[in-house]
Amino acid sequence: MKATVKLGTTQPLSSPPVGAIRTAPSLAAPALVQVPVDSVPTGFCWALLAVSVLTLLIQLWTYFS
């Protein structure tokens, strides 16, 4: 047996009321602020990376021995 479906008419989509759309006030962009990361010397970053790698190697050495 085949089921049959009756389709009725649908209501039209309602439009938004006139004047309901609001825009945000435009604000001036703030001046660029120097990020603290930019003030870190490159040599310090490399030294920190070297110490981290050395620590990892020591931990692996002690784990496998």
The pLDDT of residue 39: 85
The pLDDT of residue 17: 62
Give the containing element (helix H, strand E) for 51.
helix 42-64
pLDDT tens digits for range 25-52: 777 667 776 677 778 899 999 999 999 9
For residue 20, pLDDT over 60 is answered with: no
* CA dihedral angle for residue 23, residue 28, residue 33, residue 37, rounded to 10 degrees: 30
User: How many whole angstroms separate alpha carbon 3 and alpha carbon 9?
Assistant: 20
The pLDDT of residue 6: 77
Domain boundaries, given as residue ranges, for the chain: 41-65
Q: Over the chain, what is the mean pLDDT?
A: 81
The per-residue DSSP string of 26-43 comes to: P-PPPPP---GGGGS-HH
User: How many whole angstroms separate alpha carbon 28 and alpha carbon 36?
Assistant: 23
3-state secondary structure of 10: coil
